[in-house]
Amino acid sequence: MYHLVLVFGLLALASSLPCDNSASNHELLLSLNKDLLRSLEGQEGLPNPSVHLALRLSHLHNLLKEGEHLNRLTTNLHNDLQSVLSGGQPLTGRLALYALALKSSCYDLNTVTFTVGDKSETLLTVLKKQMEREKEYIAFSQRPLTNYYQYSLGVLALCVSGIRVNNHVVNKLIKAVEHEDFQHGNSESIDTYAMAAMALQCVKNSGSYVHNAVELDTALTNIKEKLLTSQRSDGHFGNEFSTGLVVQAFLAMGVPVSECAASLEAIRRDARGNKYQNPMAISQLLPALQQKSYLTVQSKSCLNEDNTLVLEPTDPVVVVPSTTKVAVMVEVVTSSGTSTVYSLDVPKESTLLEALHLLKEINNGFTFENESSLWGPFLSVVNGERARQSDRKYWHLSSDGTSLTEGIADYKLKVDQKITLKNTSY
């Protein structure tokens, strides 16, 4: 507890950093809002509910474009979720984000239905049943069907929608905090701790958890300390892409904005340096920069909203390949531990995805497949070997031994380096 007080005291000293309503910070928020809106125009595949949620939680709006995106969510995304649901696959996280996105637009969730078996069930009923499946799987195998990040999202979505979450479902999340089960590979998942904080704080606020209130408070205290100890010297928590969710978690737990000043400034600094190009990343940090969390959805009214956000026409960006080359070694480590190394030269600033495509073209011995996700394409198969979430495996990406925090479509190759793709269990 002394450590907790000490760290909060240090954070409080950062309150002299630039205040959140300065002109430069307002321009940054405006720019990030526009970046998210533009991502809707060029969006390939399914609409992203996390992007919609961030746009709806913003102070600034373009109601026409948000309405168009809402229509895509309730048609394209809804139909895809129905297809996955009919196939019996777990989809807790996507269902939860869908519910949060619709609620952020004040959509009547009781009118949103799926066909399950031979009957129609509402979105929240389906989500509640998904959480029961997750809970039962934890009891059987000591882990969720999906993961604890999605499990936390499910608890949060039900809670902010006014649905009483089963005490046994909540208890499984509390026990996971107690046993420090939020792991991703060999490291702790700070994103999961942040999402669990928001979920459990919502349950506490609702007063519905009558199983053991002290146990719930202890879990929240433990999460808070875990998040605080993840803070780096530059103000970020975990990594640059976790900080937005962590700040949201602190705000949800009632931590004063002044005590998050160093972290908010770290996000702004990196945003001005164009660190955040991925719409999913922006969607998680934008609410935090506006001093909101996903719990804000609970009280959103959608009345008298701003409608002044306008996108100026932009000229097409022509990307000219760099004439400078960087030497890249690509090492593939299979689940059995065998290693194969390939070498190639790629234009400087190429993405890792572009490099893998080039390697596939010039070397018949290398193949790969990728699948879509809310964060963009992710590796699913390399040289015929699959790493699937259902098997508790993934392709861990690293550069010269340092884990990558960006996906294959976002990470850019700027210098000579060795990229390792390792089939990793968790």
* Vertex 335: Cα angle to 333 and 338 (nearest 5): 45
Q: What is the rounded CA–CA span in Å between residue 400 and residue 271?
A: 25
Q: What is the mean pLDDT of residues 160-170?
A: 96
Domain of 255, in residue numbers: 2-299
**pLDDT over 50 at 387, yes or no:** yes
Q: Are 164 and 86 contained in the same domain?
A: yes
pLDDT of residue 8: 44
Q: Are 252 and 389 contained in the same domain?
A: no
Mode of pairing for the β-strands spanning 339-347 and 325-333: antiparallel
**For the CA atoms of 270, 274, 275, 278, what is the dihedral angle to 10 degrees?**
130
**Which tens digit of pLDDT belongs to each residue from 258-296?**
999 999 999 999 999 999 999 999 999 999 999 999 999
Mode of pairing for the β-strands spanning 378-382 and 350-351: unpaired
Instruction: Show which of 259, 282, 299 is a domain's final residue.
Output: 299
The answer to the question of residue 320 being in a domain is: no
Whole-structure pTM value: 0.91
Q: Are 356 and 393 contained in the same domain?
A: yes
The answer to the question of residue 311 being in a domain is: no
The answer to the question of residue 212 being in a domain is: yes
Q: What is the rounded CA–CA span in Å between residue 98 and residue 92?
A: 10
More confident residue, 12 or 344: 344
Q: Are 242 and 330 contained in the same domain?
A: no
**Which tens digit of pLDDT belongs to each residue from 16-48?**
333 345 788 999 999 999 999 999 987 678 999
The answer to the question of residue 83 being in a domain is: yes
pLDDT of residue 24: 86
Q: Are 233 and 176 contained in the same domain?
A: yes
The answer to the question of residue 411 being in a domain is: yes
Q: For the residues of 344-402, what is the DSSP string, one character each?
A: EEEETTEEHHHHHHHHHHH-TT--EEEE--TTS-EEEEETTEE--GGGTEEEEEEETTE
The answer to the question of residue 108 being in a domain is: yes
- The enclosing domain of 228 has a CATH number of 1.50.10.20
The answer to the question of residue 355 being in a domain is: yes
- End-to-end Cα separation, the chain, in angstroms: 30
Q: Are 32 and 144 contained in the same domain?
A: yes
Q: Are 329 and 295 contained in the same domain?
A: no
Q: Which of 279, 242, 284 is nearest to 263 (CA)?
A: 242
Q: Are 105 and 38 contained in the same domain?
A: yes
Q: Are 220 and 106 contained in the same domain?
A: yes
Q: Are 117 and 196 contained in the same domain?
A: yes
Q: Are 288 and 375 contained in the same domain?
A: no
pLDDT of residue 183: 85
Report the number of distinct structural domains present in the chain.
Answer: 2
Instruction: Show which of 238, 265, 299 is a domain's final residue.
Output: 299
Tell me the three state secondary structure of residue 113.
strand
Q: What is the mean pLDDT of residues 330-352?
A: 95
Q: What is the mean pLDDT of residues 163-191?
A: 93
CA 208 to chain centre: 27
Q: Are 228 and 373 contained in the same domain?
A: no
The answer to the question of residue 304 being in a domain is: no
- The enclosing domain of 396 has a CATH number of 2.170.130.30
